[in-house]
Chain A
């Protein structure tokens, strides 16, 4: 009855006065409703409340933890990237110096074209040609054999004959 408008409340009371059956019905429902007051209240288990509070603590701790982790991770990635780049540049530099040092730097591209240039080829008159210029009458096989050197850690000795092969032509 507490939620009825005053006007509605008056109407219900009048109806109850005029209708005995309605009065009995409403009183009966009231009694039933009153029995619901006996419904027990339950407390959540203490362990459950503790776990909720742990979640509260961990939820608040997370952002700070993340920031620290991300910072550490960023530093780690940056350091790893620096080391990798340095190692790569250093390795490339060392390799390049090994190849280039004995000869002049402008010969490197020529070396890259060596296999194509040193192979025999046939011109439009069906004449077979070998790149033997610079080493007299020696054949391709001879020139290749000349390339073979005992491994002594010096690459420059292996490069020189190839340079000679590529610079000449009998055409």
Chain B
């Protein structure tokens, strides 16, 4: 046990590139486990925040890592960062899911031009996750984020969870930097409106 712990702590000091090489070259599963534990939170948070459903997030997370495992030998070259490659897979899987949902919802959509599949998900489902403590401000923030159009939400999440630059976001989403910046700006403007509305409602309630 002591040896295992020491071994694990040794792995945590190794950088991603070396861990990837250990896994690919020597089938070192501990190396892969270290990579997974190191990055699971940001990947899962991004997926979960985008889809707003724990079960769907689990499925997409699993699909993502299934692709990572099976395609690492074929499609990942060690020139780029491994985590960026994984995030791209996670992002594509998430967007695929959202597009499918949107297509499905469009069939039943009302005449509302701002109709978003996210609106159909009950708030409790958006925010529910077992064993997770969430403050009211978290709930409120997540609810507002969920109210953003998916393109704007995407930029906000990529920026926050993946800490991507706007150039990276532009590359990942296949738009120009100006478009990515514009989406972020509109997202912030929309969020500001939502916060203001929320504040106004709170003031009305107290009065």
With A36-B156, A40-B138, A45-B58 already in contact, the answer to whether A57 and B29 are too (CB < 8 A) is yes
Annotate B124-154 by CB proximity to A: 1 below 8 A, 0 otherwise.
0000011010100110011001000000000
Annotate A29-61 by CB proximity to B: 1 below 8 A, 0 otherwise.
100110111111111110011011101110110
Q: Which of B29, B65, B160, B188 contacts A39 (CB 8 A)?
A: B160
Is B201 part of the binding interface, using a Cβ–Cβ cutoff of 8 Å? no
Check if B141 sits within 8 Å of A39, measured CB to CB.
Answer: yes
Size band of the interface chain B makes with A: 35 or more
Check if B188 sits within 8 Å of A29, measured CB to CB.
Answer: yes
Check if A39 sits within 8 Å of B145, measured CB to CB.
Answer: yes
A1 shortest CB reach to chain B, Å: 12
Is A169 part of the binding interface, using a Cβ–Cβ cutoff of 8 Å? no
Interface of A is mostly: helix
Check if B188 sits within 8 Å of A41, measured CB to CB.
Answer: no
Is A139 part of the binding interface, using a Cβ–Cβ cutoff of 8 Å? no
Q: Which of A29, A38, A56 contacts B137 (CB 8 A)?
A: A38
Is A82 part of the binding interface, using a Cβ–Cβ cutoff of 8 Å? no
With A36-B160, A43-B40 already in contact, the answer to whether A56 and B69 are too (CB < 8 A) is yes
Distance between Cα atoms of A106 and B141 in the complex (Å): 100
**B192 and chain A: residue at smallest CB distance:** A32
Distance between Cα atoms of A109 and B61 in the complex (Å): 74
Distance between Cα atoms of A37 and B138 in the complex (Å): 10
Q: Which of B29, B129, B156 contacts A42 (CB 8 A)?
A: B129
With A32-B191, A42-B48 already in contact, the answer to whether A49 and B42 are too (CB < 8 A) is no
Annotate B30-73 by CB proximity to A: 1 below 8 A, 0 otherwise.
00110011001111110011000000011001100110011000
Which A residues are in CB contact (< 8 Å) with B185? 29
Check if A35 sits within 8 Å of B49, measured CB to CB.
Answer: no
Distance between Cα atoms of A125 and B21 in the complex (Å): 97
Name the residue in A35, A36, A38, A40 with the highest tally of chain B Cβ atoms < 10 Å from its Cβ: A40
Distance between Cα atoms of A41 and B137 in the complex (Å): 14
Which B residues are in CB contact (< 8 Å) with A40? 45, 132, 134, 138, 142
**A47 and chain B: residue at smallest CB distance:** B58
Is A126 part of the binding interface, using a Cβ–Cβ cutoff of 8 Å? no
> What are 7 A-B pairs at a CB distance below 8 A?
A29-B185, A29-B188, A38-B141, A42-B132, A44-B40, A53-B29, A55-B66
